[in-house]
Chain A
Amino acid sequence: MRYIKYLIIALSLIVIAWLLPALYELVIPRTDKMPFVVYSCLDSTFIRFESSNKQIRYVDFRGQEFSKTQADSLLPLFAFRQLVAEGRLPDSLYGVALTPKLIQQNSFHFKTSPKQLNKPAVGLYTMLESASGRVDLTLPPDVFRLTKDGLEFIDCETNTINRAKSVSFTRELTKHGFTFPVQLIWGNSSTRKDYDNGFLLTDANDRLFQLKMVKGVPWVREIKTDNINGWKQVFTVEPANRQLIGLVVSNDDQLFAVTRDGKTVLVGIDAYDPQQMQITIVGDLFHWTITEYTATDSRYYAVDAKTFEQVACEMVPDGERPLAQRIERWLLPIRLRFTSWRTQLIQPNINDD
């Protein structure tokens, strides 16, 4: 019975280490607000949208504050709707005639976080028809799974395998040099988009491919890459200007853009680890503003929207933790949590703030 007594003490300590930090956070909620940042091509600086007391301040990294009207003028491609309404949209910028349609077509938004990526995958994917001849995309009558030696399409109505389609897609991939099994795969199965870029996938030899369905038949292309030491993550994107098909991250944390012509171009940022960093890309006609949040700092980059070369960069260390968090660390030296900002999986994490 002595051992059971020790067991009860151990369980009590676990419960205390878990509940007290949770209770502390409930009483004193965290207010970690990440500012929205956009690069101003006119002022060659980043403008931060800082919300405090229900008001938004527009500040650059030199500390200069702008009014809302000034910020709109400095970010004509970001605030173009407002500028159009006020009749203040410039006729042209850097020799390019500006129209709302052109600006809208070249706007690009991408966001992902470790929490979105680190979750159990279903293992079933939807291959949309990318050239249906219709404006709206529709769901196909089947889904597919990955096997160790191919793709397997399952007919939804009968819940049976469509052998002919499975063989056709597997054979087309093999014909292009794809070695099964698939290592990484990413596609956007939403039908609420203008068009479909299919899937980016890597094979057993870490070669990168694009796969989509064109008029019911498979369409495969190898994305040529040089001197890449394997892939850590792939993303398919479908921007309105149709210039990109994806973003891929190499094993040494380099971010590449996959262009429409099937080439990878290094994006001029220092490092991006999708398992550890949250990333936001806000793109316009001339630049992409890339924001990375890591466990220790925030990094802001501006890259050229055509060449992806770095134009500007700012790194902001997180600075001293708020008083409430420092008190929590002092009062509760062991903080057990079962949820984390890094993953959707439930697992014990000690002192993972």
Chain B
Amino acid sequence: MVRAIFYKEWLKLRLVWCLAFVIHIGLITYLLLALRATLLSAGTIETWATMISRDVLMINQLTYLPLITGICIALCQWLPEMQNKRIRLTLHLPIDYSQSIGIMLLSSLIGLFLLFSIDAVVLAIAEQLWLPRELVWRTFITCLPWYIGGFIGYNVTSWCLLEPLWKMRCVNILIGAPLVALCFLTTQPACYITMWPWLLVVLVATACLPFYSIYRFKLGKQ
């Protein structure tokens, strides 16, 4: 049953995942080409010096992409399910409803993790050709809260979409949006290093929230 649900989610979202993959790889490629162009035109020494002394990493365009991806995946996953209450079918599967919803959520979180990991690996492998490991690591830890923001964005959007009542949906947005914003408080590189444990707590906490919405749905809140 678990594999079947995973497969169903893949069938439902495969086009979206492929599109997300293309966009992510496209943007990462663009960022790397832009970095290479800067190294060639401005000079390696000047570019390194700027990156070291002025806290510049040349990856700003990546900031909101993980968040947009997380929100889009949640929209594509749950909007069709919530239209005409099709999700009822899932809730009537011969396994516990929280388990089936959990597998659906997990499938997307794993997908996001794979997608984000591909970003990080491609970025790190390519950057280490031109930059010292300190700047590659700095790029990674600067991006990390943005990617955590992508997961939190997915969780919060799922929580809001699965909620059966519009009034509560608005309340959920009011609570969820600031939790997402927590990952985007500064543009300064590497300034989230002491915040990671807290962001992970928020990530785990928000992963639990969709279960409450589906519980309310199951109770028949209209």
B52 close to A (CB within 8 Å): yes
**A188 and chain B: residue at smallest CB distance:** B53
Cβ distance A133 to chain B, nearest Cβ, rounded Å: 20
Which of A29-37, A137-145, A234-242 contacts the other chain? Answer: A137-145
B195 close to A (CB within 8 Å): yes
Q: A12-B175, A122-B135, A143-B48 are in contact. Are A159 and B191 (CB under 8 A)?
A: no
Q: A345-B193, A347-B194 are in contact. Are A123 and B134 (CB under 8 A)?
A: yes
Inter-chain contacts of A338 with B (CB < 8 A): 182, 185, 195
The reply to whether A143 and B52 form a contact with Cβ atoms under 8 Å apart is yes
**A140 and chain B: residue at smallest CB distance:** B45
B78 close to A (CB within 8 Å): no
A325 close to B (CB within 8 Å): no
The reply to whether A119 and B179 form a contact with Cβ atoms under 8 Å apart is no
Within 8 A of A (CB), among B89-122: none
Chain B proximity mask over A97-138: 1 for CB below 8 Å, otherwise 0 = 000000000000000000000011011111000000000000
The reply to whether A124 and B135 form a contact with Cβ atoms under 8 Å apart is yes
The reply to whether B194 and A141 form a contact with Cβ atoms under 8 Å apart is no
A298 close to B (CB within 8 Å): no
Which of A3-11, A258-266, A271-279 contacts the other chain? Answer: A3-11
Within 8 A of A (CB), among B48-102: 48-49, 51-53
Chain A proximity mask over B200-222: 1 for CB below 8 Å, otherwise 0 = 00100110110110010000000
Within 8 A of B (CB), among A123-173: 123-126, 139-141, 143, 145, 154, 156-157, 159
Within 8 A of B (CB), among A37-86: none
**B49 and chain A: residue at smallest CB distance:** A139
The complex places the Cα of A140 from the Cα of B44 at a distance, in Å, of 11
The reply to whether A156 and B194 form a contact with Cβ atoms under 8 Å apart is no
The complex places the Cα of A139 from the Cα of B49 at a distance, in Å, of 8
The reply to whether B190 and A120 form a contact with Cβ atoms under 8 Å apart is yes
A19 close to B (CB within 8 Å): yes
**A339 and chain B: residue at smallest CB distance:** B185
**Could you say which of A12, A122, A139, A346 contacts B195, with CB atoms under 8 Å apart?**
A346
**Could you say which of B48, B188, B209 contacts A344, with CB atoms under 8 Å apart?**
B188
**A1 and chain B: residue at smallest CB distance:** B215
Within 8 A of B (CB), among A311-353: 338-339, 344-348
The reply to whether A126 and B53 form a contact with Cβ atoms under 8 Å apart is yes
The reply to whether B198 and A348 form a contact with Cβ atoms under 8 Å apart is yes
A190 close to B (CB within 8 Å): yes
Cβ distance B164 to chain A, nearest Cβ, rounded Å: 14
Inter-chain contacts of B169 with A (CB < 8 A): none
The reply to whether A143 and B132 form a contact with Cβ atoms under 8 Å apart is yes
The reply to whether B205 and A159 form a contact with Cβ atoms under 8 Å apart is no
A217 close to B (CB within 8 Å): no
Inter-chain contacts of A11 with B (CB < 8 A): 175, 179, 202, 205-206
Q: A120-B190, A339-B185 are in contact. Are A7 and B52 (CB under 8 A)?
A: no
The reply to whether A139 and B45 form a contact with Cβ atoms under 8 Å apart is yes
The complex places the Cα of A100 from the Cα of B113 at a distance, in Å, of 64
Inter-chain contacts of B198 with A (CB < 8 A): 347-348
**Could you say which of A7, A122, A190, A339 contacts B205, with CB atoms under 8 Å apart?**
A7
The reply to whether B205 and A15 form a contact with Cβ atoms under 8 Å apart is no
Q: A122-B52, A139-B46 are in contact. Are A346 and B205 (CB under 8 A)?
A: no
**A10 and chain B: residue at smallest CB distance:** B205
Inter-chain contacts of B52 with A (CB < 8 A): 122, 124-126, 143, 189
* Listed A/B pairs (18) with beta-carbon separation below 8 Å: A4-B212, A5-B212, A11-B175, A15-B174, A119-B188, A119-B191, A120-B191, A122-B52, A122-B134, A141-B45, A143-B49, A145-B134, A159-B128, A159-B129, A159-B130, A345-B192, A346-B186, A346-B194
| Besides A4-B208, A347-B198, 14 other A-B contacts (C-beta < 8 A) | A4-B209, A11-B179, A15-B178, A122-B52, A122-B138, A124-B48, A126-B49, A139-B46, A141-B45, A143-B48, A143-B52, A189-B52, A338-B195, A346-B195
Closest 3 CB pairs of A and B: A120-B190, A4-B212, A156-B44
